[in-house]
């Protein structure tokens, strides 16, 4: 996949048998890659060049070499790698020093970082404020959820979970909020509209328990109190 433009949102894709996998992008833009699957990319599963901000969150990579990254601010969280080609986790090559966050990734057999340039690894990002006032109601065969949150810069994504019994949870949605850092041309490309931070419709369930939390770099907020829909 070859992406251009000022900013790039790569979300909910399944990519197979591509040399450069999810992204081959040029300088000067930001990139957010979230909730994608990439299979069989022998050269690089995710390629970014000289971007100011790169966030790679909640992706799954199989039969691929991992990442070639540039830029100034890098976030790598909640990714899964299986049947990796080679041993390198990432080539961090940059035209400027890289500030990197990395947390909760399952690297599989990838064991080595390849750093080509000045990389400063950070940890302990401040947790984002938790979403508030989660509400859910049944609408036909779907469930509509709404909530509020502090509209602050330290939100990278929201995760929503569903449970049939309030004990066993599974993630049903994982999206970025509307945020000035990801200023996409949604008039020209309506498919780029990010996850609306105030409402979500679950079309796969008509009852159960729901909860939500926010993520910022390597930190997550507490889960909201669960709400039940009968």
Per-residue pLDDT of the chain (230 residues; tens, 9 = 90+): 555 556 677 778 888 877 766 765 555 567 778 888 888 877 677 766 556 777 888 888 888 776 766 667 788 888 888 887 777 777 665 556 677 888 888 888 877 777 766 777 777 677 788 888 899 999 999 999 988 876 555 666 788 899 999 999 998 887 665 544 444 454 554 444 455 556 788 888 999 999 999 887 778 888 999 999 99
Question: Would 80 be classed as within a structural domain?
Answer: yes
pLDDT at residue 138, rounded to an integer: 93
Quick one: pLDDT at residue 182?
A: 45
Q: Answer whether residue 2 is part of any domain.
A: no
Q: Is residue 32 part of a domain?
A: yes
Number of folded domains that form the chain: 2
Instruction: Clarify whether residues 33 and 108 are in a common domain.
Output: yes
Q: What does the pLDDT read at residue 114?
A: 74
Q: pLDDT value at position 189?
A: 46
Strand order in the sheet with 60-64: 14-16, 37-41, 60-64, 80-82
The answer to whether residues 30 and 53 touch, using CB atoms and an 8 Å cutoff, is: yes
Question: Domain holding 150: CATH number?
Answer: 2.60.40.10
My answer on whether 110 and 206 are in the same domain is no
Q: Would you say residue 1 lies in a domain?
A: no
Query: Considering the domain boundaries, does residue 127 fall inside one?
Result: no
DSSP track, 7-52: EEEEES-EEES-TTTT-EE-TT-EEEEES-EEEEESS-SEEE-S-S
* DSSP letter string, 60-123: EEEEE--EEE-SSEEEEES-EEES-SSSEEEEEE-SSPEEEEEES-B-TT--EEEEES-EEEE-
108 and 155 both lie in a single domain? no
Query: 138 and 101 share a domain?
Result: no
Determine the Cα–Cα distance for residues 162 and 100; give it in Å rounded to an integer. 31
Nearest C-alpha neighbor of 229 from the set 154, 125, 96, 138: 138
* Same-domain status, 71 and 12: yes
Domain finish residue from 122, 144, 168: 122
* Domain carrying residue 171: 132-229
């Amino acid at each position: 996949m070859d992406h251009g433009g000022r900013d790039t949102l790569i979300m909910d894709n399944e990519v197979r048998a591509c040399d450069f996998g999810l992204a081959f992008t040029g300088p000067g833009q930001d990139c957010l890659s979230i909730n994608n699957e990439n299979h069989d990319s022998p050269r690089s599963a995710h390629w970014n060049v000289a971007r100011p901000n790169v966030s790679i969150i909640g992706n799954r990579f199989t039969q691929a070499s991992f990442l070639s990254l540039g830029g100034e601010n890098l976030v790598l969280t909640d990714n899964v790698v299986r049947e990796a080609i080679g041993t390198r986790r990432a080539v961090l090559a940059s035209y400027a020093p890289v500030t990197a966050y990395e947390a909760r990734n399952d690297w599989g057999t990838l064991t080595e970082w390849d750093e080509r340039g000045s990389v400063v690894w950070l940890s302990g990002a401040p947790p984002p404020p938790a979403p508030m006032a989660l509400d859910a109601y049944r609408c036909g065969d779907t469930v509509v959820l709404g909530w509020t949150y502090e509209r602050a810069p330290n939100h990278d994504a929201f995760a929503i979970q569903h449970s049939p019994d309030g004990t066993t949870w599974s993630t049903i949605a994982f999206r970025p909020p509307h945020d000035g850092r990801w200023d996409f041309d949604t008039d020209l490309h309506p498919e780029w509209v990010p996850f609306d931070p105030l409402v979500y419709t679950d079309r796969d369930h008509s009852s159960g328990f729901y909860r939500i939390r926010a993520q910022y770099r390597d930190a997550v907020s507490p889960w909201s109190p669960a709400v039940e829909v009968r």
